[in-house]
Structures are given as structure tokens and as C-alpha cells.
Amino acid sequence: MNNQPGVRSDVRERVWTVVRETGYQPHAAARSLVTRRTQVVAVVIPESVNRLFTDPFFPRLLTGIAFKCNQRHYHLLLALFNENEGQPEMYDRMIGSGQLDGVVVASAHTDDPLFGRLLKEGVPFVAVGSHPDERVSYVDVDNLSGARSAVEHLIRQGHTRVATIAGPLMMTSGADRLAGYRLALEAHRLPVVDALVFEGDYTEQSGRLGVQHLLPASPTAIFAGSDVMAIGALKALREARVRVPQEVALVGFDDISIASAVAPALTTVRQPIEHLGSMAADLLLDSLDSGSEERAPTQRIILPTHLVVRESCGALG
């Protein structure tokens, strides 16, 4: 049952026939004493519980992770936080428990102490989102190119005053999408104007605040670093009686389900959210199942994005 070598195929098949007929399940605690494995992996998302269950990005990411864990017979533990202040204690309990084979980390700032703790303790982990430390394996999308394609699309529509509501710059996704915005402007010899840049935090409220900050600078288009912020921006523009896309064009990033349901439907950069989760889980589980005592070599996977054009940018209708 543990796939040990030296067992004849006919004996192995007889054993598995009995297992199937009786519905036998190995005792997990007893097995872990022998294998030093628990078949448990954790997903750590250092966000509040409220944010985790109201941002449509996270359920789709967790769907991809859970699918792979179930497929490969691993149990999934979700670490939840009420407030940021509770994170150090949660990390201590989680890493010190000895109950985890590995960890998937998502939506973490690059300076989050969890990365250092996991590396120090030798706990296998994979990040969703790029990280500057060369020892960190991760899966991410091409945020820079995706953002650049969105802004260049707006420029091709004739917009020369393109603003952005960026994601948090302490996350590589936020920094890379802002870099893509700047590269698009520079490529078309348009100035990067500070008054047209607002740093948000991927929440709807920061999209609203971004519009309030940007409107005095008279943008004709806004690129929001997430669909949730774009929807907040859309609501704020309506409250200000600014028509989208007639007076201000709007583009988001993610292509969550509500992006096509709002009016006008949101032009956005589609990223494969479920695939991000499943690939991160696969990377982690591959390293766990390899049987090697050595730390797995660092792997970095970047997935492509593509622009989905709908009514909010003014290119349709």
C-alpha cells in the first residue's frame, strides 16, 4: 500500500482488491509516525477573513488548489486571519505544529515574515505571485505585459491622459502592473504624470477613493490594477455623473465573473486564476512526492494573460 518495491504484482493486486472491497483506510496518525508525512498542506493568504470571502479572486484560486490536493489525496488546511496583528502568532502555531507537509502562500507582501520563517525552518512551500528571493519557487502571470497591453489598447483608442489605480506596491503584482502602465506610456512618448497615479489595495473602496483622487487631473481613461478596484471606480464615476465610456474609459485586471455582468461590461486583462492555484499546488506536491530529502530546486512559472475587450473601454458599440 505504500508502493514499496519488491512486491509481486499479483500480490499487490490481491491486497488492493481487499482494500477496495472492505473500504479500508489507513490510520493517518499511525502512518505519519512511520512516514513522517501528514498528507496535509496549508494555504496561507495573509488577508482578513472578510476580504478573503468577498473578493471573487480568492475562491477561484482556492478552487484550483483544492482540485489538485483532492486529486492527489492531500488534505487542505486554510489559515484564516481576523486582523494583521494576529499573523505572527498564527505563523508560530502553524509552522511549529509539525502537522504540515508544505504550504502554498498567496497574496503576501514581499516582506512578509512568513517567507523567512518557512525558509529557515525548511518547510516546503510555493508562492502564488513572484518573489525577489531566488530561493522561493512561485507561479505567477505576466503582470507587466498584461498591464501594458491594457494601457496600449486605451492609447490606441486615442487616450493621452490615462490614469491608473495601482495595486499595493509592496506586492509584486501591484508593482509589475504599475511598471507595465508606465512602459506603455513611455513607448508612446506620453508623460507619466504623478497626479494620474493612485495606489490602491485591491479593494472596492480603494477604487472609489482612486477616482476621487484622479478626477481633478482630468483623465480620459483609467486602468485599474484589479477588477474589484475597477468596479469601485465605476461606482464612483457614476456617483460623480461621469459617463463610462463616453467621458472616461475604464479597464480592469483579472476577469472575475462580475466583470461581464456590470453595465457597461468591463474590459479587463484575463488571468487564469484557477490554473494559478492548481499549478502552485502541483509544484508543491511534486516536490513532496519526489521522496528527496534535499530542498527542491527553485522553479518559477509565468503564465500568459490576454486582453478581453468589452464596452467599458469604448472600443465596442
**For residues 26-56, b (16+ Cβ closer than 10 Å) or e, as one string?**
eeeeeebeeeeebbbbbbbbbbeeebbeebb
Which parts of 1-141 fold into alpha helices (H)?
9-22, 28-35, 49-54, 57-71, 87-96, 113-121
Are residues 284 and 230 part of one domain? no
Most confident of 17-31, 91-105, 209-223: 209-223
Cα–Cα distance measured from residue 74 to residue 76, given in angstroms and rounded to the nearest whole number: 6
Instruction: Grade residue 250 by pLDDT with cuts at 50, 70 and 90.
Output: very high
Cα–Cα distance measured from residue 79 to residue 199, given in angstroms and rounded to the nearest whole number: 27
In a domain, residue 99? The reply is yes
Are residues 224 and 137 part of one domain? no
Are residues 236 and 129 part of one domain? no
Q: Could you list the residue range(s) of the whole structural domain that residue 163 is in?
A: 143-271+306-313
* Pairing between β-strand 267-270 and β-strand 249-254 as defined by DSSP bridges: parallel
Are residues 122 and 207 part of one domain? no
- What are the Cα distances from residue 239, in Å, to 211, 233, 243? 10, 10, 10
Say if CB 233 and CB 224 are below 8 A apart.
Answer: yes
SS3 271: coil
Are residues 131 and 105 part of one domain? yes
For 177-209, write each residue's pLDDT tens digit: 999 999 999 999 999 999 999 999 999 999 999
Say if CB 303 and CB 255 are below 8 A apart.
Answer: no
Mean pLDDT of 68-89: 82
Count CB neighbours of 274 within 10 A: 16
In a domain, residue 49? The reply is yes
In a domain, residue 251? The reply is yes
Residue predicted with more confidence, 43 or 33: 43
Count CB neighbours of 258 within 10 A: 14
Are residues 291 and 207 part of one domain? no
E strand or H helix that includes residue 103: strand 102-106
Cα–Cα distance measured from residue 100 to residue 25, given in angstroms and rounded to the nearest whole number: 20
In a domain, residue 1? The reply is no
In a domain, residue 110? The reply is yes
Q: Which of 37-41, 84-88, 160-164 has the lowest mean pLDDT?
A: 84-88
For the chain, what is the domain count? 2
Are residues 253 and 133 part of one domain? no
In a domain, residue 286? The reply is yes
Are residues 151 and 117 part of one domain? no
In a domain, residue 30? The reply is no
In a domain, residue 5? The reply is no
Q: What pLDDT shows up at residue 244?
A: 97
Residue with cell 486582453: 307
pTM, full prediction: 0.85
Are residues 263 and 207 part of one domain? yes
Mean pLDDT of 162-180: 97
Are residues 264 and 162 part of one domain? yes
Are residues 166 and 122 part of one domain? no
Q: What is the CATH number of the domain that holds 118?
A: 3.40.50.2300
Say if CB 267 and CB 311 are below 8 A apart.
Answer: yes
For 262-317, write each residue's pLDDT tens digit: 999 999 999 999 999 999 999 999 999 886 666 778 999 999 999 999 999 997 65
Mean pLDDT of 251-259: 97
Are residues 251 and 147 part of one domain? yes
